Structure 1
Amino acid sequence: MHKITTNKGYSLFDCASAFQKSVRRGLEKEAMYWTVEIFNSNYGEYLWKRIRIIASEDIGLAEPNIAANIHALYQNYKEQKKKKDDKHQPERLFLTHAVLMICRAKKSRVIDNTLIYFWNTHDNEKRPVPNFAYDKHTHKGRAMKRSWKHFFEEGTQLNNMAEVEGEAEMKEAAFDSITQKETREKQHRTGQTDIF
């Protein structure tokens, strides 16, 4: 099997492992050493792949915006790289930014651990569909005569709900508009009209 090596003779995958373990420990100098080795060996895209994975695997919910920030830096990197400034390689700026960001970020492995647990246990469990899932948008919910009222009271229930100005008023207005529309459609089907 062909061994993929870097400019200094390292295994690429050993470098990638050293890079990620350094990031996990917040070791910026070490992470940057492996970054430069991988990048200079023309494996920049592979490095970005690892960075995107780290953003979810080792940081995730501890820094909820990290994945979006890494994505933005990667887009900047690609746009700059298209200009083919091989002498100064300014795209390295965005790569360095990303590496320092993931090194300094708060860390959490809850996403990866959650993935591991649920994919490994899924085949051993079959849960029933919860009763709250059956609303007027499902065949069974319609058979149970579940209405828009049920949908607004049960189907749209939110936990950990934020306080947003106008929320309650717009919910009431939305419900009223739907019931009024249904009344008009029913009248149209039966030939009834409003009398003024």
Structure 2
Amino acid sequence: MTKTDTIVSREPNWLTGQILVAMPAMQDPRFVQTVIFLCAHTQEGAMGVVLNRPLRRPKFVELLAQLGIEPSPPQRQVRLGTGGPVDDNRGFVLHSADWTVEGSMLVDEHYALTANLEVLQAIAAGAGPSQGLLVLGYAGWDAGQLDEEIRQNAWLSVPADEAIVYDEDCPSKWARALAKLKIDPGMLSGTAGRA
């Protein structure tokens, strides 16, 4: 059994609540230098949201106006981003688990995901979760697909932290996530291989 086989054969949901970091050898241009928060990893597949692809438009205020959510202007705002290539017309709020409603998916004791207007109404009114990120779309993998991509050295995983998840310094998130593993991005090879 190789080291990679040992890593990938853990519990089916071992990556839930972790951050995926794209390796330099990533072939899919949609995920080059991408940082993804993994909301679910089960035997049926995996689902996550990209953390480092900010949206320029619409602005949060504009989105609330389009959805008819008051007050305008809102009392609070959250950052908007592109969550991934799947269902990119659908919004998801990745947020702190200090606030949930019916339909929220509790990822772990720190993070939750909500995909209804109630979370946006709460944020606009100055309430809701203490921290959040609104993304359009998500990244998804079929059963076993993510595990296979990890075997092929496409992704590394690191523990999530609030700075990487929520802060606005998107250009540095990839390097900061690698730094959590004490990896210098300049030392990574762009080619995958096996020892």
| Fold shared per TM-score above 0.5 | no
**TM superposition score category, shorter chain reference:** under 0.3
Provide TM-score, normalisation by structure 1.
0.19
- Greater RCO, CA 8 A, separation 6+: 2
- TM-score using structure 2 length: 0.19
- The structure having more radius of gyration, on CA atoms, is 1
The structure with the greater share of residues assigned to strand is 2
